[in-house]
Amino acid sequence: MMLPNIRKIIHIDMDAFFASVEQRDNPELSGKPIAVGGLGNRGVVAAASYEARKYGVFSAMPAKTAKKKCPFLIFVKPRFEAYKQVSNHIRQIFLEYTDLVEPLSLDEAYLDVTTHKKGKPSATLIAKEIKQRIKDETGLTASAGISINKFLAKIASDYDKPNGLFLIKPDEAKAFVEELPIEKFFGIGKVTARKMHKLGISNGKDLKNFTEFELIRKFGKQGSYYYHISRAIDSREVKPDRLRKSVGAENTFEYDIDNPDEMKQQLLLIAQTLIKRIEKSKSFGKTLTLKIKFSDFKQITRSKTEKFEINDFETLWKLSSEIFDLLDFTNRKVRLLGLSVSNLQYDNITGQPVQLTFNF
């Protein structure tokens, strides 16, 4: 008899990544509430140690707020080289078990261990061993999730954090998703969650009351994804070496635009979409590129690189305007405008110029 085609997917994510590296390398910081980043007057917290989280300090929080919540909070300057080094190290460990390793950012990756290189009897044992090796070789802890697909593995790694190991077994998967609050679904942000609550959807089970057609009508392309994950189905493969290189937004207009003010108005809408995507995917880059396609389909791009990651709307819009205002549109009509941010913080991990285009 053929065995059912069930995949074994592990998702590994480092605990309080930047903060843990800083605590490891500076024993004075260990056991203390620290925040990496947050320096400068518009700074935000990149990573908070678990000690700091007890006070309600979290990633992406403005430094000012963090300081109010935890007056003794120690701010530490990020050292990306150190994080990249750990990132490469854990990746080498992953690759000893399988070639199917897909990093999502510096500190996390999916591994497909359906077939693997080590002759281990179970995916859970592999995950345990990987966690132990990360601990022994880097001094840091990671959390692992194990299940039958990416969606469930990712949720599982978050379930038992920090230093977690959580398995969602094949025969438990459906029941697990039914109970899962939609806020915990990877790919459902705050806005979508609110919209779902209005429709009476608060967990996976509620989602199943809607047909795929209804969900697509209400949520666009993502509707189909929601339909399937609410049934614990996620057929996305683990794609080795794929890492987002840029994040962008663009719009092709219904008619060609010749008025620069109108173009700028459209650009503002695109920038608003882009900042949401930047925040959602945590893809903070230093280079902003404006793409313009003219009515004759000729295309130009203009870029500008900052010293810092572009992580707020004000900066994004200021840069976009600076690039746009330098252009001359005399006698030209525009059919498409686009903005993208590249030169991402996570760039160097693979060296592969692959552009990811998944939508969540």
Which of 59, 98, 149, 283 is close enough to bind ligand DCP by CB under 6 A?
59
Tell me how far, at minimum, the Cβ of 52 lies from ligand DCP, in Å: 10
**What is the DSSP code (8-state) at residue 285?**
E
51 binds ligand DCP (CB under 6 A): no
60 binds ligand DCP (CB under 6 A): yes
Considering the complex, state which of residue 129 and residue 158 has its C-beta at the smaller distance from Ca ion.
Answer: 158
Segment contacting ligand DCP (CB under 6 A): 7-15, 222-230, 237-245, 248-256? 7-15
Query: What Cα–Cα distance (Å) separates residue 180 from each residue in 27, 207, 216, 313?
Result: 39, 11, 21, 32
Spatial strand order in the sheet of 299-305: 246-257, 334-344, 285-294, 299-305
Considering the complex, state which of residue 35 and residue 334 has its C-beta at the smaller distance from ligand DCP.
Answer: 35
Q: Where are the alpha helices (DSSP H) in 28-140?
A: 50-53, 63-69, 80-97, 123-138
Cα–Cα distance, 98 to 111 (Å, whole number): 7
The residues in 136-175 that bind ligand DCP, with binding defined as CB under 6 A, are 161-162
107 binds Ca ion (CB under 5 A): yes
347 binds Ca ion (CB under 5 A): no
Q: What is the sign of the dihedral through the CA atoms of 186, 190, 193 and 197?
A: positive
Segment contacting ligand DCP (CB under 6 A): 15-23, 95-103, 197-205, 332-340? 15-23
Segment contacting Ca ion (CB under 5 A): 11-19, 123-131, 180-188, 338-346? 11-19
17 binds ligand DCP (CB under 6 A): yes
108 binds Ca ion (CB under 5 A): yes
Segment contacting ligand DCP (CB under 6 A): 9-17, 131-139, 170-178, 199-207? 9-17
Cα–Cα distance, 121 to 113 (Å, whole number): 11
Which of 22, 102, 107, 347 is close enough to bind ligand DCP by CB under 6 A?
107
Is residue 22 annotated as part of the catalytic site, yes or no? no
225 binds Ca ion (CB under 5 A): no
Cα–Cα distance, 145 to 11 (Å, whole number): 5
Per the document, the length of the chain is 360
Do the strands 142-147 and 9-14 form a parallel or antiparallel pair, or are they unpaired? Answer: antiparallel
The single-letter code of the amino acid at 184 is: K
Helix (H) or strand (E) segment spanning residue 267: helix 260-281
Which of 10, 12, 35, 47 is close enough to bind ligand DCP by CB under 6 A?
47
Cα–Cα distance, 91 to 308 (Å, whole number): 26
Catalytic member of 28, 108, 212, 254: 108
Looking at the DSSP bridge assignments, the partners of residue 142 are 14
Considering the complex, state which of residue 158 and residue 172 has its C-beta at the smaller distance from ligand DCP.
Answer: 158
Helix (H) or strand (E) segment spanning residue 266: helix 260-281
The answer to whether 336 and 253 are in contact (CB under 8 A) is yes
Tokens 């978050």 sit at which residue?
158
The answer to whether 38 and 45 are in contact (CB under 8 A) is yes
Q: Say how many residues touch ligand DCP, by CB under 6 A.
A: 14
Considering the complex, state which of residue 82 and residue 199 has its C-beta at the smaller distance from ligand DCP.
Answer: 82
The answer to whether 69 and 207 are in contact (CB under 8 A) is no
The residues in 17-76 that bind Ca ion, with binding defined as CB under 5 A, are 17
The single-letter code of the amino acid at 46 is: A
Considering the complex, state which of residue 22 and residue 107 has its C-beta at the smaller distance from Ca ion.
Answer: 107
Segment contacting ligand DCP (CB under 6 A): 16-24, 25-33, 127-135, 205-213? 16-24
Considering the complex, state which of residue 80 and residue 213 has its C-beta at the smaller distance from ligand DCP.
Answer: 80
**What is the DSSP code (8-state) at residue 107?**
T
Q: Cis bond leading into 162, ω under 30°?
A: yes
Which of 12, 46, 101, 243 is close enough to bind ligand DCP by CB under 6 A?
46
120 binds ligand DCP (CB under 6 A): no
Binding site for ligand DCP (CB under 6 A): 13-18, 46-47, 59-60, 107, 161-162, 282
Binding site for Ca ion (CB under 5 A): 13-14, 17, 107-108
Q: Catalytic positions, please? A: 108
